[in-house]
Amino acid sequence: MITNKKATHDYHILERWEAGVVLKGSEVKSIREGKVNFIDSFVRVISGELFLHNLHIALYARTSQPNLDPKRPRKLLLHHGEIRKLIGTLSQKGLTLIPLSIYFKKGKVKVGIGLAKGKRLYDKRRKLREISIDREIKRTLKERKRYYPH
């Protein structure tokens, strides 16, 4: 499983979905090697279908299709009712769809997508502060346990 680590840092994830993705054979092999980059990737609705944009899947070294664009738009496969629901919720201001992870399930490539709302700068700072405080607490408890074992 390859995850988008910046997604939870930059966005509040409101809902999650699992979607299939239309790929070429060499792209599947490249995903198996873990050569995927999520930077600036997003999902867009075009004429009632979902497309994944800017997901960089590196070219497979031993491919017979050398002219494949690594950032080409890729169609996502969801049920029609789910797509309609997504279109309705995306009409709200400030919401977007982003890829969260890419993984294999029963031999098929799946993309975890999430309905996201962007975090403010102060939200990011607060989260980092909480993480550092938790880390400090764990460190002091570990030291205390070393000096006072029970």
Q: What is the pTM assigned to this prediction?
A: 0.76
Q: What pLDDT score was predicted for residue 16?
A: 92
Q: What digits encode the pLDDT tens for the residues 90-149? A: 887 888 899 999 999 998 999 999 998 888 887 778 888 999 999 999 998 888 787 777
Q: What pLDDT score was predicted for residue 125?
A: 87
Q: What pLDDT score was predicted for residue 22?
A: 93
Q: What pLDDT score was predicted for residue 8?
A: 81
Q: What pLDDT score was predicted for residue 150?
A: 65
* CATH for the 2-119 domain, from 3.30.750.210, 3.30.360.10, 1.25.40.80, 2.40.280.10: 2.40.280.10
Closest CA to 91 of 41, 45, 49, 42: 45
CA distances from 42 to 46, 82, 142 (A): 13, 18, 41
Q: Alpha-carbon distance 51 to 32, whole Å?
A: 21
Q: What digits encode the pLDDT tens for the residues 4-21? A: 888 888 888 998 999 999
Q: What digits encode the pLDDT tens for the residues 31-84? A: 998 899 988 899 998 988 999 999 999 888 887 767 778 888 999 999 999 998
Alpha helices in the chain (DSSP H): 5-10, 25-32, 80-90, 121-147
Whose tokens are 């496969």? That residue is 77
Q: What pLDDT score was predicted for residue 20?
A: 94
> To 10 degrees, the CA torsion angle through 89, 91, 96, 98?
60
